[in-house]
A and B are shown apart, each in its own frame.
Chain A
Amino acid sequence: MTEMPSAMSVKNQVMPGQDRLMPDRENRSVFKVNSERRRLKERIFTSVILIATLMALLVLVYLITSVVIDGGNRLSWDFLSSFPSRFAAKAGIKSAIFGSMWLGGLTLIFSVLFGVGAAVYLQELANKNRLNQVIELSISTLAGVPSIIYGMLGLGVFVRFMALGRSVLAGALTMSLLVMPVIIIASREALKSVPDSIRMAAFALGASRWQTVRDHVLPAAVPGIATGVILAMARAMGEAAPLILLGALTYVAFVPEGIFDGFTALPIQIYNWTSRPQQAFHELAAAGIIVLLVFLLICNSAAIFIRYKWGSKK
């Protein structure tokens, strides 16, 4: 019995049913702990936050089950690979899927380019002067502007003034404006969390600001920036209002082949179908929602995967 002396001695000290941790409970009247009450409060607190979590989950589960019940049997290869039609039986979302992909891809390019660029400027290069403070304030304000306002802006600037027409380019530029504040704010937070010691190390080696940011600060901030971009893209994919205002088409029997082509997108197609009186089109809308959700799920998983890969490299 010599191999575990410590365990033995502990066992000898604390006998079952004997509270060694509080040997003279009666005498220490200064500390009056109502353990019963404390445990009760603990339990209430746990249940409240659990309910809060369940509420969010419940809403999602309700949404998913209701769309699956409504539109599940409409999902088929034909639905995915057909163009819209005025006959519900023949209608599909091929043009909406391709439109959304074009729109998402172009928005990703523009918003990352300009959003991350602006974040790097504001966080790493800009002096703390009045102009930059005004820019910062404007960006946080822009993040809260309703999306329909962006639609009006896009209509005025891109569609009419720049004469891009109702093209996928005009749509993507509008969407980029819409999501840029989110990307800028998230990217700035990511850059802010990169420790200053890394910057100082680079500067002390005679690096310029650009070299320091390019080789050390930005790579360290990529996981945070990726998170911001995911959230922003998820928003862009689900937005219908600004596109409707831009005049994106609702009946499109072709796939965009260039940035100046007309387009439709999943949320617009869904919106169009829900506003029709026939039950069959409502089912199609539900099926479209399922496709949109799967789309978002794939985007998010891909981004999480990239972030994980990037994080584990270090």
Chain B
Amino acid sequence: MSFGSPILETKNLNVYYGQKKVVRNVSLKIPKKTVTALIGPSGCGKSTILRTFNRMNDFIDIFRLEGEVLFEGSDIYNSHMEVTEFRRRVGMVFQKPNPFTSSIAKNITWGPQINGYQGDFNELVENSLRKAALWDEVKDKLNDSGLALSGGQQQRLCIARAIAMDPEVILMDEPCSALDPASTLAIEDLISELKKNYTIVIVTHNMQQAARVSEYTAFMYNGDLIEFDVTSKIFSHPEEKLTRDYIVGRFG
């Protein structure tokens, strides 16, 4: 397996929560403008890795990290890194839709506004909502609260909010686990559309979803990266027995 220079990379990454080591010596390269899925049973460290990519672990007091996490070749855990500026370039969509209580339009514009966006805000709202396939549903109620939308619409609003920041990477932490099948399908279609312009890293418990939406898949188990390869290979001819057992549903 080979690809051009990765956009995100971990080198010998170890993560501890207090005394507990949750990620062991993981070296992983995320290729540009593709969808990479992180799969594995609960507690395997996949969400932890995702959160190191935009330093959202910083808010956990007992979090500690060894090794390097590189974004476009530079270490994001370097003390000279301006973390707020960096988070603009690596957006995140959470497990549960978490729109702000303010209006739909304000949900989109708040991030760009605090980051000094100079362009036209109305245009930004429309473009972001269009890219998130939500525009037609909400264009007449942009001033309604974001919380008035359905769960699936809220999650697409959160994706639109991330897109509005013009990020290079969008991290998704089980974005469909709180949604019904129809909304899940809508989000998956959206992911396939978004990968043309963005690098997407998605954590998922749903193996069919990983197989459907991703080009690359990393399988993790108990803090170790067991296998990382092209998705079709992982799901048809995995190298490791552990991967195969997980894929066929023997555990997890």
Question: A residues near B, CB below 8 A?
Answer: 127-128, 195, 197-208, 211, 215-216, 219-220, 314
**Nearest CB in chain A to that of B98: its residue:** A197
Chain A CB within 8 A of B183 CB = no
A-B contact pairs, 28 of them (CB 8 A): A127-B61, A128-B61, A197-B94, A198-B98, A198-B101, A200-B59, A201-B94, A201-B100, A201-B161, A202-B100, A202-B110, A203-B59, A204-B91, A204-B92, A204-B94, A205-B87, A205-B114, A205-B115, A205-B161, A206-B84, A206-B87, A206-B88, A206-B115, A206-B165, A207-B111, A216-B101, A314-B101, A314-B145
Chain A CB within 8 A of B124 CB = no
Interface size on B, residues (CB 8 A): 27
**Nearest CB in chain B to that of A196: its residue:** B59
Instruction: Tell me if B56 and A198 are in contact (CB < 8 A).
Output: no
Instruction: Tell me if A208 and B145 are in contact (CB < 8 A).
Output: no
Residue interface bits B65-103, CB-to-A below 8 A is 1, else 0: 000000000000000000011111001101010111100
CB-CB under 8 A for A220 and B114, given A200-B56, A200-B94, A206-B85: no
List of A residues within 8 angstroms of B145 by Cβ: 314
Instruction: Tell me if A206 and B114 are in contact (CB < 8 A).
Output: yes
Question: B residues near A, CB below 8 A?
Answer: 54, 56, 59, 61, 84-88, 91-92, 94, 96, 98-101, 110-111, 114-115, 145, 147, 158, 161-162, 165
List of A residues within 8 angstroms of B162 by Cβ: 204-205
List of B residues within 8 angstroms of A200 by Cβ: 56, 59, 94, 98
Instruction: Tell me if B147 and A204 are in contact (CB < 8 A).
Output: no
Instruction: Tell me if B98 and A203 are in contact (CB < 8 A).
Output: no
Q: Tell me, rounded to whole Å, the shortest Cβ–Cβ distance linking A281 to chain B.
A: 54
CB-CB under 8 A for A205 and B59, given A198-B100, A200-B94: no
List of A residues within 8 angstroms of B84 by Cβ: 206-208
Instruction: Tell me if A205 and B96 are in contact (CB < 8 A).
Output: no
Identify whether the interface residues of A are mostly helix, strand, loop, or mixed.
helix
**Nearest CB in chain A to that of B92: its residue:** A204
With a 10 A CB-CB cut-off, give which of A198, A204, A219 has the most chain B CB atoms. A204
List the 3 closest pairs (A to B, CB-CB), nearest first: A205-B111, A197-B98, A204-B92
**Nearest CB in chain B to that of A314: its residue:** B101
List of A residues within 8 angstroms of B100 by Cβ: 198, 201-202, 216
Instruction: Tell me if A206 and B111 are in contact (CB < 8 A).
Output: yes
Instruction: Tell me if B96 and A204 are in contact (CB < 8 A).
Output: no
List of B residues within 8 angstroms of A208 by Cβ: 84, 114
Q: Tell me, rounded to whole Å, the shortest Cβ–Cβ distance linking B226 to chain A.
A: 28
Q: Tell me, rounded to whole Å, the shortest Cβ–Cβ distance linking B193 to chain A.
A: 21
Q: Measured between alpha carbons, how far is A279 from B46 in the docked complex, in Å? A: 80
Q: Within the complex, which residue of B59, B91, B96 is in contact with A197, where a contact is CB–CB below 8 Å?
A: B96
List of A residues within 8 angstroms of B85 by Cβ: 206
**Nearest CB in chain B to that of A216: its residue:** B100
**Nearest CB in chain A to that of B61: its residue:** A128
List of A residues within 8 angstroms of B86 by Cβ: 206
CB-CB under 8 A for A215 and B110, given A128-B61, A197-B98, A204-B54: yes
Q: Measured between alpha carbons, how far is A51 from B101 in the docked complex, in Å? A: 42
Q: Measured between alpha carbons, how far is A204 from B171 in the docked complex, in Å? A: 10
Known: A204-B54, A207-B84. 13 other contacts (CB 8 A): A128-B61, A200-B59, A203-B56, A204-B87, A205-B87, A205-B114, A205-B161, A206-B87, A206-B165, A215-B110, A216-B100, A216-B101, A220-B101
Q: Within the complex, which residue of B88, B158, B165 is in contact with A201, where a contact is CB–CB below 8 Å?
A: B158
Q: Tell me, rounded to whole Å, the shortest Cβ–Cβ distance linking A157 to chain B.
A: 37
Q: Measured between alpha carbons, how far is A195 from B100 in the docked complex, in Å? A: 11
Q: Tell me, rounded to whole Å, the shortest Cβ–Cβ distance linking B153 to chain A.
A: 16
Instruction: Tell me if B147 and A314 are in contact (CB < 8 A).
Output: yes
